[in-house]
Amino acid sequence: MKQLKFVGALSCAGLALACQHASAQSSVTLYGVADVSVRYLTNTNAANDNRLFMTNGAITNSRFGMRGTEDLGGGYSAIFDLESGINLQDGTGASRLFNRNAYVGLSGPYGTVTLGRQKTPLFDTLGDTYDPLTVGNYFENAWLPVALGAGLYADNAVKYVGSFAGLSIDAMYSFGTDSTATGPGGFSGQIPGHMGAGSLYGVTLSYTIGQLSFGGGAQQNSDNSNHKQTVFNANAVYTFSEVNLYLGYLHSEDDTGFVDSTLAQQPIAVSIDDLKNTGRIDDGPYTGVTWQATPALRLTGAFYYDHMKNASIGGGVLGSGNRYTGVALAEYSLSKRTEVYGTVDFNKVTGAGTVELPGRSNQTGIAIGLRNIF
């Protein structure tokens, strides 16, 4: 990845910020991903119409950001990161200025502590190591960790990351997971007299020995009225030659209504409060493989499954069902920074899962895209 570094000053779009005390031991880096794709998707509404459209990337959302570090001596440094998503297809940005990262922290020999808006430990675990699609970008591919993780980012969060002789620790506590949420169904938290409302805590542990890395963790989210969702994960990846083999499992127990409301693409005629205390349970194993076939060509296959119980069908009716997702991805590097790719994905739902697709009980997507990393 090629990065543009400015020591002592950062100049961006004609706006200069002079750093009075800059030295060779401090730096600011401008970085990002520009990724856009053309996608064909079947059964996109109740009439089962197909759609051809341009959208964000298949695997990585486009984003830009600034990160900085200052050497404090003794092995310690101050760090910050400000990162925002952007839609290349129309130039629009996120609803908030820095929706992906906005934190400051200290890093040293015993780990890193950061404060602000940042990825949850579950997102770190899946995106960085244990998901073959790095928590894919299209909702049709990314539904499993997005819904079962009750959001992959948290506001107002204190986070610790450390690594010790092959053992990695990732832990977080959020005083309020989403500061933009309002009403009894939200996850905003920080309510006087209800310190735990809207909070999140999570921890993941992973261990690497030779070619094998494995780990697990737990995360719990509370809404404003102290209903809870608990997620457990267990994961492993084995590397040999140019191949990575993935195996993982997510388990969610949800009384907040978040999973039902997030996944439903058909009207279920109930409010978010009617979805609370249903005791929805999701069991989601998945597997995948990546193969660096040539220095330029990388191939990925992934399969995700979800068995749901006590899922809302609408009108107070709960049921069980299944969802199956298969994804094939081919990436071809034109350079160290730029690649073209093609992807095919298929979703199938049964039982209570039928409300999770907008039309028929199956949906197929095909896309080609171009990504530049800077």
Residue 112 predicted with pLDDT over 80: yes
Residue 12 predicted with pLDDT over 50: no
Mean pLDDT for all residues in the chain:
89
| Per-residue pLDDT tens over the stretch 337-357 | 999 999 999 999 999 999 999
Report how far residue 350's alpha carbon sits from residue 327's, in angstroms, rounded to the nearest whole number. Answer: 19
Mean pLDDT, residues 134-162 taken together: 89
Residue 297 predicted with pLDDT over 90: yes
Percentage of the chain beyond pLDDT 90 is 74
What residue ranges do the domains of the chain occupy?
Answer: 4-373
Helix (H) or strand (E) holding 121: helix 121-125
pLDDT at residue 203, as a whole number? 97
pLDDT at residue 92, as a whole number? 93
Q: Are 357 and 46 in contact (CB under 8 A)?
A: no
pLDDT at residue 5, as a whole number? 38
- Max mean pLDDT among 174-183, 185-194, 268-277 falls in 268-277
Residues 6+ apart with CB under 8 A from 152: 119, 120, 122, 123, 127, 135, 145, 146
Q: Strands, E, within the chain: which ranges?
A: 4-6, 9-12, 15-18, 26-41, 51-56, 63-73, 76-85, 101-108, 111-119, 153-164, 167-174, 200-209, 212-222, 228-240, 243-254, 280-292, 297-314, 317-333, 338-351, 362-373
Rg (CA), the chain: 21
pLDDT at residue 14, as a whole number? 37
Q: Are 109 and 95 in contact (CB under 8 A)?
A: no
Report how far residue 29's alpha carbon sits from residue 67's, in angstroms, rounded to the nearest whole number. Answer: 5
Tell me the pLDDT band of 25, cut-offs 50, 70 and 90. Answer: confident
pLDDT at residue 9, as a whole number? 36
Mean pLDDT, residues 215-223 taken together: 93
pLDDT at residue 316, as a whole number? 82
Which is more confidently placed, 96 or 249?
Answer: 249
pLDDT at residue 38, as a whole number? 98
pLDDT at residue 104, as a whole number? 98
Residue 183 predicted with pLDDT over 80: no
What tokens appear for 355 in the block? Answer: 């409300």
Report how far residue 5's alpha carbon sits from residue 110's, in angstroms, rounded to the nearest whole number. Answer: 27
What tokens appear for 127 in the block? Answer: 């995106």
Residue 8 predicted with pLDDT over 70: no
Mean pLDDT, residues 8-16 taken together: 38
Tell me the pLDDT band of 19, cut-offs 50, 70 and 90. Answer: very low
Report how far residue 149's alpha carbon sits from residue 143's, in angstroms, rounded to the nearest whole number. Answer: 10
CATH class, domain 4-373, is mainly beta
- Tracing tokens 């709960």 back to the chain, one arrives at 318
| Per-residue pLDDT tens over the stretch 311-343 | 999 878 999 999 999 999 999 999 999 999 999
Residue 10 predicted with pLDDT over 50: no
Q: Is 126 helix (H, G, I), strand (E, B) or coil?
A: helix
Which is more confidently placed, 11 or 125?
Answer: 125
Mean pLDDT, residues 205-213 taken together: 96
Tell me the pLDDT band of 181, cut-offs 50, 70 and 90. Answer: low
| Per-residue pLDDT tens over the stretch 188-203 | 666 677 777 788 999 9
Q: Is 45 helix (H, G, I), strand (E, B) or coil?
A: coil
Mean pLDDT, residues 38-47 taken together: 97
